[in-house]
């Protein structure tokens, strides 16, 4: 039976868009610039356990401290704020922070802020009950079913920006969506930022690999948005990694200072591979994560109080037989749930987890691991979920097919995060009473009223009977995804960009590129 083709019109149109046509994957009622969660986060630990973790994070900062390298200015800022500084030698300092000091500094950080996009309808909020999905970040390789695994290029980069822009289930264009390895290391940030601006109208991340590249990224936003707007609003963010355990190097802190000084956002992410750079036990990893991320976040507030900042958590595990990192495993999923609780207690937005996997193919392992990780991200209350699409191969490869699977999953998560509405209409007593025991509900007024928006309609899953599926060739999910990303690229249309701004951006890039020789490291 096909409710759509029965010729009856629904009594109400679903909120948020047009009704579904016959093509799969249409869920206009779920399309939003960012998600406002309708379900509570999943709180794993009780008050005592959370306090123990917070106390341990405080002890780490007060008794062990963190090492800062090659940025005397960052050290000066923390010393003036009260840190105990010990010089370790040339360009290295150990800083210790009295209990409560970092939390005190962070009181000026906003609990929630807006990142502006060039299309205002694409602005996203970060913090509170807002959830933002962005593509995976940082893979040197790309892969697809046709050509296998190879180094990423700027063409791949543009393709992924276009695919992301084409998906209603991502809200943000991300950053280093893959490494464009065919462009010099010291210049590729220009092409990356330009591609985000040109091929997407959503918010994005800028460069963090060198302070001058951070400045270039912000400068390109000034061309796009105007100097005054940028000074008053967050239009770009940088995604910074601590050097775990307990180190902040100068490239990182100078980058953080550049974003903060410009009043732009920054994400502060310890990449914790348990057993290598953090304890094997999740309680310890989470305590360390909190200590490192809060300290890195605090630097922004010393540079410019009120600058937008995002607590970060990237917990992974290890194959204890081989020493290989593992992703999408159960223990980090639990750790992420705890990080959500800690972020809410710190009153800071959180970036956490994503669609992680170590699989080398878009296969069953890929989506099993992805789901383990991604469910923890949405359940923990994370606000900005980088790595929401494309992640394979332990973050070494961006997969075209996985990208399509993940974006479809992100759509499902829109339905999941919407939650269950409980009212007289949804309780549907009248629908059951209308027909009574033993009678199907197909033609009840209640079904007709809800059929367009009751269930997420996947663009990728095959829910047909086996016989139909078999007659159509018995296609697996990876092959369907392969067909779909090509079709999506074929129908992509770039959002309009003011030609004057485009020319100014290209001029800036050309001048910056001409100002320095290519560097490949």
Residues 312-371 contacting a second copy, CB under 8 A: 317-326, 329-331, 333-335, 338, 358-371
Q: How far apart are CA 312 and CA 318, in angstroms?
A: 20
Q: How far is the CB of 171 from a second copy (least distance, A)?
A: 18
Q: How far is the CB of 448 from a second copy (least distance, A)?
A: 9
Provide the minimum distance between the beta carbon of 456 and a second copy in the complex, in angstroms, as a whole number: 6
Of 37, 105, 112, 137, whose CA–CA distance to 343 is shortest? 112
For a second copy, the closer CB: 16 or 330: 330
Decide if residue 400 touches a second copy (CB under 8 A).
no
Tokens of 64: 């062990």
Q: Provide DSSP, 162-226.
A: HHHHH-TT--S--S-SS--TTS-TTTHHHHHHHHHHHH--S--B---SSHHHHHHHHHHHHHHH-
Q: Which of 292, 245, 342, 359 is nearest to 102 (CA)?
A: 292
Helix (H) or strand (E) holding 272: strand 271-273
Taking the complex as a whole, the smallest distance from the CB of residue 401 to a second copy amounts, in Å, to: 8
The reply to whether 284 sits near a second copy by the rule CB under 8 A is yes
Nearer to a second copy, 463 or 491 (CB): 463
Q: If you ran DSSP here, which 8-state letter would residue 63 be given? A: I
From 35, 44, 164, 208, residue interacting with a second copy (rule: CB under 8 A): 44
Per CB under 8 A, which region of 65-73, 228-236, 489-497, 508-516 contacts a second copy?
A: 65-73
The SS3 call for residue 386 is coil
* DSSP H or E segment with residue 114: strand 112-115
- Binders in 484-513 for a second copy, by CB under 8 A: none
Site for a second copy in 71-110 (CB under 8 A): 94
Q: Does 422 bind a second copy (CB under 8 A)?
A: yes
**Helix ranges restricted to H, 381-498:** 400-418, 424-427, 429-435, 445-450, 466-471, 477-491
**Which lies closer to a second copy via its Cβ, residue 108 or residue 458?**
458
- The secondary structure of 414-434 as a DSSP string is HHHHH----SHHHH-HHHHHH
- How many whole angstroms separate alpha carbon 130 and alpha carbon 124? 8
> Residue-wise over 115-127: b if at least 16 C-beta within 10 A, else e?
bbbbeeebbbbbb
How many residues of this chain bind a second copy (CB under 8 A)?
Answer: 134
Q: Give whichever of 86 and 506 is closer to a second copy, judged by the CB atom.
A: 86
Q: Which is nearer to a second copy, 201 or 408 (CB)?
A: 408
List the one residue from 89, 228, 465, 473 that touches a second copy (CB under 8 A): 465
Q: Is 18 in the site for a second copy (CB under 8 A)?
A: no
Residue 268 CB, nearest approach to a second copy (Å): 16
- Give whichever of 70 and 502 is closer to a second copy, judged by the CB atom: 70
φ, ψ at 415 (rounded to 5°): -65, -40
- Alpha-carbon span 255 to 241, nearest angstrom: 11
Nearest approach in angstroms of CB 207 to a second copy is 25
471 binds a second copy (CB under 8 A): no
| Among 111, 185, 261, 432, contact with a second copy (rule: CB under 8 A) | 432
From 127-135, 198-206, 296-304, 391-399, give the range in contact with a second copy by CB under 8 A: 391-399
d(CA 30, CA 455): 10
Identity of the residue, 165 or 355, whose beta carbon is nearer to a second copy in the bound complex: 355
Shortest Å distance, C-beta 108 to a second copy: 26
Comparison of 229 and 469: residue with beta carbon closer to a second copy: 469
Decide the pairing of beta strands 271-273 and 309-318: parallel
């Amino acid at each position: 039976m096909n409710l759509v083709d029965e010729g009856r019109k629904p009594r109400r149109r679903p909120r948020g868009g047009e009704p579904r046509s016959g093509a799969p994957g249409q869920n206009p009622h779920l399309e939003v610039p960012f998600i406002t969660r309708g379900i509570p986060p999943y709180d794993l630990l009780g008050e005592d356990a959370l306090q123990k973790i917070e106390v341990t994070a405080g002890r780490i900062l007060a008794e062990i401290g963190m090492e800062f390298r090659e940025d005397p200015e960052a050290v000066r800022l923390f010393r003036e704020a009260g840190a105990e500084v010990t010089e370790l030698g040339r360009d290295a300092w150990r800083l210790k922070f009295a209990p409560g000091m970092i939390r005190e500094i962070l009181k000026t950080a906003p609990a929630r802020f807006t990142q502006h996009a060039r299309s205002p309808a694409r602005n996203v909020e970060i913090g509170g009950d807002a959830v933002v999905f962005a593509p995976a970040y940082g893979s040197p390789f790309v892969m697809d079913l046709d050509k296998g695994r190879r180094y990423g290029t700027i063409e791949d980069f543009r393709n992924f920006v276009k695919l992301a822009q084409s998906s209603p289930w991502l809200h943000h264009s991300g950053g280093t969506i893959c490494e464009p390895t065919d462009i010099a290391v010291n210049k590729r940030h220009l092409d990356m930022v330009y591609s985000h601006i040109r091929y997407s109208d959503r918010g994005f991340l800028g460069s963090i690999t060198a302070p001058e590249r951070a400045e270039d990224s912000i400068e390109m936003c000034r061309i796009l948005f105007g100097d005054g707007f940028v000074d008053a609003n967050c239009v770009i963010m940088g995604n910074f990694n601590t050097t775990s355990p307990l180190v902040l190097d100068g490239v990182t802190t100078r980058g953080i200072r550049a974003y903060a000084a410009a009043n732009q956002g920054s994400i502060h992410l310890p990449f914790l591979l348990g057993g290598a750079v953090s304890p094997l036990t999740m309680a310890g990893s989470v305590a360390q994560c909190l200590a490192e991320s809060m300290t890195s976040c605090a630097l922004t507030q010393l540079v410019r109080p009120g600058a937008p900042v995002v607590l970060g958590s990237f917990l992974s595990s290890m194959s204890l037989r081989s020493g290989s990192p593992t992703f999408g495993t159960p223990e980090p999923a639990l750790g992420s749930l705890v990080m959500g609780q800690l972020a809410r207690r710190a009153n800071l937005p959180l970036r956490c987890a994503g669609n992680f996997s170590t699989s080398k193919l878009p296969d069953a392992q890929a989506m099993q691991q992805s789901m383990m990780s991604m469910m923890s991200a949405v359940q923990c209350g994370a606000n900005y979920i980088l790595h929401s699409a494309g992640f394979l191969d332990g973050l070494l490869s961006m997969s075209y097919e996985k990208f399509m699977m993940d974006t479809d999953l992100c759509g499902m998560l829109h339905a999941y995060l919407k939650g269950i509405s409980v009212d007289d209409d949804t309780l549907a007593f009248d629908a059951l009473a209308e027909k009574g025991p033993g009678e199907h509900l197909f033609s009840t007024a209640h079904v007709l009223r809800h059929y367009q928006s009751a269930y997420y309609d996947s663009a990728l899953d095959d829910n047909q009977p086996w016989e139909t599926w078999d007659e159509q060739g018995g296609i697996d999910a990876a092959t369907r995804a392969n067909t779909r990303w090509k079709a999506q690229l074929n129908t992509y249309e770039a959002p309009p960009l003011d030609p004057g701004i485009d020319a100014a951006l290209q001029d800036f890039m050309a001048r910056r590129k001409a100002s320095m020789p290519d560097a490949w490291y």
